[in-house]
Amino acid sequence: MKKLIPFMMVILLTGCWDVQELTEIGIVAAMAIDMDEETGEYQLTAQYLRPSAESTFVASQDDPFLMITVTGRSISEMLRKTNHKIDRKGFYAHNKVVIVSEEVAKEGLLSIFETFQREQVVRSYVWLGVTRDTSAASVLEKQKNSISKVSANFLSSLFDNAEYEAVAFNLLKFYKQALRQGMSPVLGVLSFDQSNQNTEADVQLSGGAAFNKDKLIGFMNNKETMAYNWITNHGGSSAQGGLTFPYKEDKYATLKLIDINSSIKPKVTNEKDISYTIEIKKQVEITEQQELKKTETRKELPKLVAELEKQAEKEIENRVAEVIKKAQEEFQADIFGFGSSLRNKYPKVWKKVKDNWGQEFANVPYEIKVEVEILNAGLLQGSLHPQE
């Protein structure tokens, strides 16, 4: 009894203080941060899930989510303000995406993400995206090109599938690169596809938003983003997609990437002249080759392969040079991590140049070495060709 009484007191008099029943929490699936141009206040749009619409019994006909928008100066303040506007208490651990608008990104993101880390409300693997030419809140609306009923799931799937011409950064990776010496992050860009005038625009994830530390400085187009992916080797090999280029006149060839290995190698001569060698080694397979030609002899096959390899190398080299040039001249931001590779190999040199790395990077000479190896040509040896 002497033992039982304190035990029961512990159970009955203390517990339950942080109990949150499922019916008390509002699950926030996505957040968008915009900026009010006039007042300079932030505008937070949170997407709350409506569970009854997801019920496995009789689902209600309501929208599966609803949006709450509040304005304020700090994110933490706004997270609390949302509780005044909705009958559930915000629960952010299942937040999947945080979208910021172009204007917010230009102001700098670390200051607004600070509370995420300080309060641990949002998990570090939440996807980050920047909107281009549209408000952040607008992409959270229900999109017509979404199979998922909840647009948060739609957006997070876009990031999950990112390859070829898109980048996907989560919060943790953003922190790592934004806080690291000699590297700047690139976030995925969400925009409305304007290419088809007739129909309502689709949301798409394509291109990259280049940052200088945590501030947005410019956008990369699709081709540049692809080259950026090759240089930085982001997301593993299969996520890199393939390479399509004109092979003969208007006939195109597509090479599918099997493995990629790229490195940035700094070289210092005379203790201050920094130069770089960018090596990209690719293993690919031919997945499409549109030229219909009969191969007369078997010797032609290796020749064809060698030719393709050569052309691919040239194509890659051009594209890589283009994106480095853009980064150097237009962004003056080291999005590839030239600085951090220098820091790893020549820490003493890095110490001297690090304060002025932005300008240093803009003028640094580099050399590009590309090696493409075609491993196989699928199940076709030559190509299809109709008999005369």
Partner 1 sequence: MRRLRKSSENKGSQQSQQSKQMARRVSIQLKDNRSTLKQNFNNSIDIQFRDLQLQDKNNTRGFICYTEGLVREEYIHQNVMDPLLGINFNKVKVNANSLISYMDSHIIKASSVNKTSSLDEAIEKILRGQTAIFIDGFDSALLVNTEHYHSRGVEEPETEATIRGSREGFNEVIRTNTSLLRRKINNPDLVFEEFIIGENTKTKVRVGYIDGIAKEEIVEEVRKRLNSIETDVVLETGYIEQYIEDHPKSIFQTIGNSEKSDKVAAKLLEGRVAILCDGTPFVLTVPYLFIENLQVPEDYYSRTFRSSIVRLIRLLALFLTVFTPAVFVAASTFHHEMVPALLLTTMAAAEERVPFPILLEALIMIVIFELLREAGVRMPRPIGSAVSIVGALVIGESAVQAGLVGAPMVIVVALTAISGFVVTAVNNTVILIRFILLFLAGTFGFYGLLLGTLFLVGHVCSLRSFSIPYLTPLAPVVAKEWRDTFVRSPMKDLQGQPGSIVRKKF
96 touches partner 1 (CB under 8 A): yes
Binds partner 1 by CB under 8 A, chosen from 3, 18, 61, 147 = 18
94 touches partner 1 (CB under 8 A): yes
Binds partner 1 by CB under 8 A, chosen from 81, 123, 176, 256 = 123
| Maximum Cα–Cα distance across the chain | 101
Binds partner 1 by CB under 8 A, chosen from 5, 22, 147, 379 = 22
Binders in 36-55 for partner 1, by CB under 8 A: 49, 51-55
Q: Report the nearest approach of partner 1 to the CB of residue 21 (Å).
A: 6
Query: Could you tell me how many residues of this chain bind partner 1 (CB under 8 A)?
Result: 27
281-300 core/surface letters (b: 16 or more CB in 10 A; e: else)? ebbbbbeebeeeeeeeeeee
149 touches partner 1 (CB under 8 A): no
The span of 18-26, 78-86, 127-135, 366-374 binding partner 1 (CB under 8 A) equals 18-26
Triad 188, 326, 321: Cα angle to 5°: 105
* Side chain identity at residue 119, one-letter code: E
The span of 12-20, 135-143, 199-207, 269-277 binding partner 1 (CB under 8 A) equals 12-20
Give how far Cα 145 sits from Cα of 157, 158, 250, Å. Answer: 12, 11, 31
202-232 core/surface letters (b: 16 or more CB in 10 A; e: else)? ebbbbbbbbbbbbebbebbeeebbbbbbbbb
Q: Where are the beta strands (DSSP E) in 300-356?
A: none
The span of 25-33, 159-167, 247-255, 287-295 binding partner 1 (CB under 8 A) equals 25-33
Q: Are the C-beta atoms of residues 369 and 314 closer than 8 Å to each other?
A: no
Binders in 74-93 for partner 1, by CB under 8 A: 91, 93
Helix (H) or strand (E) holding 219: strand 215-220
Q: Report the nearest approach of partner 1 to the CB of residue 190 (Å).
A: 20
The span of 7-15, 97-105, 344-352, 359-367 binding partner 1 (CB under 8 A) equals 7-15
Q: Are the C-beta atoms of residues 20 and 90 closer than 8 Å to each other?
A: no
Q: Report the nearest approach of partner 1 to the CB of residue 29 (Å).
A: 7
Q: Which of 316, 255, 319 is nearest to 289 (CA)?
A: 255
Q: Which is nearer to partner 1, 20 or 198 (CB)?
A: 20
Q: Report the nearest approach of partner 1 to the CB of residue 77 (Å).
A: 23
Binders in 55-74 for partner 1, by CB under 8 A: 55-57, 59
Q: What's the token pair of residue 302?
A: 């290796």
Q: Where along the sequence are the contacts to partner 1 (CB under 8 A)?
A: 11, 14-16, 18-23, 25, 27, 29, 49, 51-57, 59, 91, 93-94, 96, 123
